[in-house]
Structure 1
Amino acid sequence: MGTSESASKRTAESSRHKVTFAHSFAVGRYAVTFAEWDACVADGGCNGYKPWDNGWGRGRRPAINISWSDAKSYAAWLSARTGKTYRLLSEAEREYVTRAGTTSSFWWGVSVSRGQANYDDRASQDKNAKGASGQKTAPVDSFQPNPWGLYQVHGNIWEWVEDCVNDTYEGAPVDGSPWLKGRCEQRVLRGGSWVSKADAVEAGSRYGVQSEGRVSNVGFRVARTLR
């Protein structure tokens, strides 16, 4: 876990360390969609909150304008509805499934282009040009999945994980569990988004924000521990 020497290093990511998972786990192939979120609301869950789609459409687009607590409410509803315990991923789990057995900055290699992920590529173009992303989210099944069949682990939306924010990995769990010490009024986001530059959608990229914020480039996917 952590960035390689060849990656664009930021202090919070640069400490490579070994993580050994205590349990197997399952993870959603896609970020949770508006269709799935709206089903939760229709069933009386998710605190009745209907997030704005920014005019981009709902259906198979990822649910956005979702806070960390909102994401937790969906996992609680899904658990009650199915009888199985769903949750957010830990930060270690999210990096593991992003890499899918690879060690490079992206699961496909060392750089990213407009045909591989939904991110803001304007840095490589005229600063006044429109980015390849079209400056909005894409449906969750856009772009090629990684070798483990997971879609958009790089870009499209930042995804909430369970962990509290810490500036470095010093003292982080080594068993894949979430880090529940630190600045817990903030939580970690992973994956980068449609408005992120290339280095922010790398496999090791991490970002911490206030947990109750609701913005148009943040959503989540769910996981389940397999015992």
Structure 2
Amino acid sequence: MKRRQLIQYASLSSIALFSGIGTNSLAATFNHHQENRLRRLASDLKSVSFDVATIDLNGREIDRRSRQAQFFTTELGDSIPLTMVAIAAGEFEMGSAHLEIDRSTSETPGHRVTVQPFFMSKYPIAQAQWLAVSQLPQVNRALIPDPAHFVGADRPVESVSWLDAVEFCDRLSQHTQRNYRLPSEAEWEYAARAGTTTPFSTGATLTPEFANYGTEFTYGGESPSEYLPTTTNVDRFAPNAFGLNDMHGNVWEWCADCWHETYQGAPRDSQAWIKNGDSDLRSLRGGSWADHPSQLRSASRSAYEADSLNRMIGFRVVCA
């Protein structure tokens, strides 16, 4: 696939963090079957503080605030950690705003979604993490230990299919005795927005200080910069207000949903949307190192064949 080629099938053109919520009340927000598991996880949560900046349409910083997130860490072997960030329950408007620049019909109609709490991996799955899990016992299919085109232990794994990503989740679940899976599109967008309603979690536009993308292109009035035609380490850029890194750019991320051309008939909860979708195609979110910044918007959607590979596509996981 050429760098500027759009991914096929795409139309690419009141929230609280867990901090301050006690273990018992946190567990109570989950359903009965999850409660005991959540209590065990919540009792082990650690906190981290960080700053989050907001920029205007010209890329100028207009606000900076301190945020806090809670997380737990699982060891995958050979001292390889997997950090899972707590994402609180809430509601949000899914889809792009009516006047949002470069919005697509695939992002419409906008609709209110209720999201249940979950944990999401802080970073896209990195190559060191992929290697560790690929060596765990097979569940349904074999995994290549080193599939990535852009090699680096802390770079995101890419060139893995949706089926491969599901196998990764299955092996991780079997290994940890926790339920790991791909995020739904609703969970992904909720986490990417991190309480914002702007095109990006950074505000009105995006600049190279915040993400890895086709930086010779611009979304607003910011200046273009030299393009870096490769992935970057998953911890290179600052997190969003939920404490998640690389939600914009670096690699597209597989979601659990079948592809639907629009949100007509979409569910109002945060479950993966499977019914009446194209099961051969699975949804992608986030944009990549090769894309115009409009493809990195929180609402932007794409899709790809579930059994196909692409050096622009990786994934992250959720635990719920």
- TM norm structure 2: 0.66
Describe how 1:26-65 pairs up with structure 2 within 5 A.
26-45=119-138, 47-54=142-149, 56-65=150-159
| Mapped partners of 1:188, 1:132: distance in 2 | 30
Indicate if the aligned counterparts of 2:216 and 2:227 stay in contact, CA closer than 8 A.
no
1:190 to 273, 282, 285: 285
| Mapped partners of 2:130, 2:225: distance in 1 | 28
1:98 counterpart letter in structure 2 = A
Give unmatched runs, 5+ long, in structure 1.
Answer: 125-129
1:87 to 147, 171, 181: 181
2:167 counterpart letter in structure 1 = S
Instruction: Give the SS at the match of 1:18.
Output: strand
Q: CA RMSD in A?
A: 1.5
For residue 195 of structure 1, report the CA deviation from its aligned partner.
Answer: 0.6
1:28 counterpart letter in structure 2 = S
Counterpart position of 1:127:
none
For residue 15 of structure 1, report the CA deviation from its aligned partner.
Answer: 1.8
Instruction: Give the SS at the match of 1:160.
Output: strand
For residue 131 of structure 1, report the CA deviation from its aligned partner.
Answer: 6.5
Instruction: Give the SS at the match of 1:209.
Output: strand
Q: Which moved more, 1:131-140 or 1:147-156?
A: 131-140
For residue 179 of structure 1, report the CA deviation from its aligned partner.
Answer: 0.5
Counterpart position of 2:197:
103
**Counterpart check, 1:19 vs 2:105:** no
Cα deviation, 1:32-58, whole Å, max 9, x if unaligned, reads 11001101123344613134322x322
For residue 173 of structure 1, report the CA deviation from its aligned partner.
Answer: 1.1
| Mapped partners of 2:160, 2:227: distance in 1 | 20
2:307 to 203, 212, 215: 212
| Mapped partners of 1:118, 1:203: distance in 2 | 15
2:97 counterpart letter in structure 1 = S
2:249 to 140, 155, 180: 155
Counterpart position of 1:118:
212
| Mapped partners of 2:133, 2:209: distance in 1 | 32
Q: Which moved more, 1:146-155 or 1:7-16?
A: 7-16
1:120 counterpart letter in structure 2 = G
For residue 142 of structure 1, report the CA deviation from its aligned partner.
Answer: 1.1
- TM norm structure 1: 0.92
For residue 6 of structure 1, report the CA deviation from its aligned partner.
Answer: 3.3
| Mapped partners of 1:133, 1:180: distance in 2 | 37
Cα deviation, 1:112-153, whole Å, max 9, x if unaligned, reads 1111110102235xxxxx964511101111111001110010
For residues 85 and 110 of structure 1, do their structure 2 counterparts lie closer, same or farther at Cα, with a shift above 3 Å needed? same
| Mapped partners of 1:48, 1:215: distance in 2 | 15
| Mapped partners of 1:183, 1:206: distance in 2 | 15
For residue 92 of structure 1, report the CA deviation from its aligned partner.
Answer: 0.3
| Mapped partners of 1:141, 1:133: distance in 2 | 19
Give unmatched runs, 5+ long, in structure 2.
Answer: 1-93, 219-223
